[in-house]
Structure 1
Amino acid sequence: MAIDVSVADHSIGDESQAMDTYETIASNDFAGESLKKTKEGRPMKRSKNVQKMKAVAKAISQSENSMEKISKSKGKTLRSKFAKNLYN
């Protein structure tokens, strides 16, 4: 008789698992619909602000890189001038 009870428990557990997966799929579909609806209004303004911030950060980094390149080129010219003066 104990064997029959354990077999009955497994069949009940399988049915509840099938229901759980169905419920999670339904909730994921609902979550996707809510994300589509929230893309209106203010998030556009925020995304534009983020784009502006990224553009400013990129411009700053490019200017810093150009300044480094300029300083390196000046250093190279100075070294070459000193080397020429040593041999003359």
Structure 2
Amino acid sequence: MKRDNRYQRDKKRKLCKRRVVIEPIIGHLKADFRLSRNLLKGKIGDEINVLMAAMAWNLKKWLVATAIFFVKRAKILCIIV
């Protein structure tokens, strides 16, 4: 808004930048880890669904990082031998 001072404008910009970073991740969670549809009942079911999707996301990231590590290590071993 025009009447916002500089601090308020900067705070809103920061929130918008954060939102731009988070929204693609939420989109991937919905598409890849079935977060768009919840088959569990109630508030606890919602929480379980979100936690399971987040765990799957983190596990996928960990597996990719581990695979990259072992591929690089195998290349180094091939060069040494």
TM-score (norm 2): 0.46
Which protein has the larger Cα radius of gyration, Structure 1 or Structure 2?
Answer: 1
Structure number with greater CO (CA < 8 Å, separation at least 6) is 2
